[in-house]
Amino acid sequence: MRIIPIGGLEEVGKNITAIEYGNDIIIIDCGMSFAGPDMLGVDYIVPDVSYLQKRKHQIRGIIFTHGHLDHIGATQYVVPKLGNPPLYATKLTAGLLKNRLREFALDKSVKLHEYNETTVLKLGAFEVEFFRVNHSIPDGMGVFVKSPAGTLVHTGDFKFDHSPAIDKPADMQRIAQIGKKGIDVLMIDSTNAVKPGFCKSEKDIANNIEDIITKTKGRLIIASFSSLIGRINQICLLAAKHNRKVFLSGRSMIDNMALAENLGYTTYPKGAVRKIGPQAKSLPPSQTIILTTGAQGETLSALTRMAIGEHAHVKIREGDTVLISASPIPGNELAIVNVINNLYRQGAKVITNGDMDIHTSGHAHAEEIKLMHSLIKPRCYVPIHGELYMRMGHAEMIKSIADPKMTVTMLENNGDILEVGRQGIRKSKQKIPANDILVDGLGFGDIGSKVIQERKIMSTDGFLKML
């Protein structure tokens, strides 16, 4: 069995792992990552699947762990290149995937199957099972893969939350049962592995937000991630309890909540939540909550437009309180500070996660990582997801507590190969191509570093057109 992370090792994002045995290949996740500010004109980055393209007749399916863009966002680009293999996802993830496929007119040609925690998939020589985890979007699953050469557990993005927002708690009994089967390789989320303690529970966050709702007399504007469906549902429930109507602002917030409502992932009373429009102004401020996108200070987002007075339906005024129920993704700090300054300029008061706990991460902290390690007890431990420093820190931490017989293997680069077989588990000397494919508008992989270089020159030095 060969395990090949094609993306997700050198960045936070673009997660995709191929697993090969004999003539069969399965793929876990198919994500994108966002371009940095130095990649002029590039919208996002998708994984290089040239290796898989040459073996597309061997691909038995793509399995999705959850619905975040760094796990599903490249699907519409990758799937046609691989001859439209079948896709497997839980209900909410499948709903999000369906919308993407429809947007790119692929919904007719791609078969999308739903799975749940009791499903057993037979994909070529592989048997695949699942276990429920918690994360910052409902319906996250970890994956257990069995092939004739060995076993693998892939956690996906996970944390343990005993009082989550809308999901059930992560299924520790099942994880322990899977661990008992004897696991060769554990691939495990590193994003917050070196942060101490446990993640705060969604329940604690909801309690703090309720506190703010009861103490606030004026209008409340809450910015968060549009995929944090459980948290958004909790806020909507609290709003109904405290006699406030919720207005949703921002395309992804409106789309995601419509999908969540349709698929049964919301529990607030019908009519308590609506899309923002002129009627948002007619209600007294004390009866209004506006839930918006833009918690990362994104240039065109609804919150940014509110902050500079350019939102069609929301004019910030004295007495407004803005809650930023998120923490900055590294690189976005400056943009967020700008938005906060502008909100104060318009007369609002701003509460961030730095002031009180109104956000919790979806990624396991150190103690949760140790718990997953002790439930699975693999022969070989592979920290994945995240920058090298996060994965190295994760490796050091786990080595200090683990059985010395367990090996901790660092797959440093995308395209590295881990081989599992009779001779043991080892990193191969080979490597497959795993470049960044840049997406520019609808163009896919047709711009390279030379184009970016030329754009940089043009942006500072101008250009001369020959007539």
Which CB, 129 or 157, lies closer to Zn ion?
157
Span near Zn ion by CB under 5 A; candidates 154-162, 216-224, 266-274, 455-463: 154-162
Span near Zn ion by CB under 5 A; candidates 17-25, 155-163, 176-184, 396-404: 155-163
Q: Residue 418, exposed/middle/buried by CB under 10 A (0-12, 13-18, 19+)? A: buried
- Looking at the annotation, which residues are catalytic? 189, 363
Span near Zn ion by CB under 5 A; candidates 121-129, 157-165, 229-237, 258-266: 157-165
Which CB, 68 or 146, lies closer to Zn ion?
68
Which CB, 68 or 373, lies closer to Zn ion?
68
The Cα 297–Cα 342 span in angstroms is 11
* 8-state DSSP, 159: B
CB of 138 to Zn ion, least distance (A): 11
Q: In what order do the strands lie in the sheet with 407-408?
A: 121-123, 126-132, 141-147, 150-154, 185-189, 380-384, 407-408
Phi/psi for 395 (5° steps) reads -60, -45
The Cα 20–Cα 419 span in angstroms is 10
Which CB, 304 or 325, lies closer to Zn ion?
325
Tokens of 466: 């020959």
The Cα 408–Cα 401 span in angstroms is 12
Closest CA to 121 of 147, 82, 95: 147
The Cα 384–Cα 412 span in angstroms is 9
CB 420 within 8 A of CB 1: yes
Which CB, 245 or 363, lies closer to Zn ion?
363
The Cα 83–Cα 117 span in angstroms is 28
The gap from C-alpha 240 to its chain's centroid, in whole angstroms, comes to 29
Tokens of 4: 């090949």
* 8-state DSSP, 305: H
Residues 26-85 close enough to bind Zn ion by CB under 5 A: 68, 70
Closest CA to 3 of 438, 381, 345: 381
Which CB, 284 or 330, lies closer to Zn ion?
330
CB of 298 to Zn ion, least distance (A): 18
User: Which x/- pattern over 230-259 shows residues binding Zn ion (rule: CB under 5 A)?
Assistant: ------------------------------
Which CB, 73 or 150, lies closer to Zn ion?
73
Binds Zn ion (CB under 5 A): choice among 11, 157, 320, 416: 157
CB of 71 to Zn ion, least distance (A): 6
Strand 416-421 with 24-28, pairing: unpaired
Which CB, 67 or 393, lies closer to Zn ion?
67
User: Which x/- pattern over 343-362 shows residues binding Zn ion (rule: CB under 5 A)?
Assistant: --------------------
CB 224 within 8 A of CB 295: yes
CB of 91 to Zn ion, least distance (A): 17
Which CB, 178 or 384, lies closer to Zn ion?
384
Closest CA to 64 of 78, 53, 44: 78
Residues 172-201 close enough to bind Zn ion by CB under 5 A: none
Query: At residue 213, what is the residue type?
Result: I
The gap from C-alpha 288 to its chain's centroid, in whole angstroms, comes to 29
Distances (CA, A) of 384 to 196, 381, 422: 18, 10, 24
CB 186 within 8 A of CB 378: yes
Phi/psi for 58 (5° steps) reads -95, -5
Closest CA to 31 of 87, 63, 73, 86: 73
Closest CA to 60 of 111, 100, 94: 111
Residues that bind Zn ion (CB under 5 A): 68, 70, 157
